[in-house]
Structure 1
Amino acid sequence: MTAFNYNASAELFPSRRYAKSQQTQYRRFPKAAEAIRFCMEELPEAGLAGTVLEVNEARFDGDDIRKLYADAAYPLARNQADA
């Protein structure tokens, strides 16, 4: 994976299907790493499908979010169950 700025601000657009059922809405995060952690540790697996993370005008889908979380450069501590 190319260099990713985990400290850049991020916007999270939840899956429409999940947003309707769980009342989760668009969110802004001061750091992309926090948005990624939210996706991986707070959203159920079904909620990640269709979710889009936007960082510096680049968009990342659920699979990309998983890869960013698993990347060695991810700066935050991971939930042991997800590591």
Structure 2
Amino acid sequence: MIKFDYTTGAGLFVGRKLRQTRGPRYRRFDTAAEAVRFAIEEIPGSRLLGSVLEVDDDRFDDRQIRMLYDDPGYPFARREK
């Protein structure tokens, strides 16, 4: 995985459900780590598909967001499975 700065601010565009979308589609976070945590732990799986994390000029899709969460450099404790 590339060197990733979890302390940088980030925006999260939440994917759509097949029919209607409820709730906000975009959310801004003070740190990328908070955005990654929110995406994996708070967004239902059906809405995580198609989600995009934007950090500076880089974009990460739902698979890459999962990789960032699973990366050993991720700064927060992970939720128990």
> Does the alignment reach a TM-score above 0.5?
yes
Structure 1: give runs of 5+ residues left out of the alignment.
none
The corresponding residue for 2:51 is: 51
How many angstroms apart in 2 are the aligned matches of 1:45 and 1:25? 15
- Higher helix fraction (1 or 2): 1
> So what's the TM-score if we normalise by structure 2?
0.91
The corresponding residue for 2:65 is: 65
The corresponding residue for 1:25 is: 25
User: What RMSD, in angstroms, separates the aligned Cα atoms of the two structures?
Assistant: 1.3
How many angstroms apart in 1 are the aligned matches of 2:5 and 2:22? 29
Structure 2: give runs of 5+ residues left out of the alignment.
none
Quote how far apart the aligned CAs of 1:47 are. 1.0
Q: After TM superposition, which residue ranges in structure 1, 4 or more long, deviate above 4 angstroms?
A: none
**Partners of 2:16 and 2:47 within 8 A in 1:** no
How many angstroms apart in 1 are the aligned matches of 2:25 and 2:65? 18
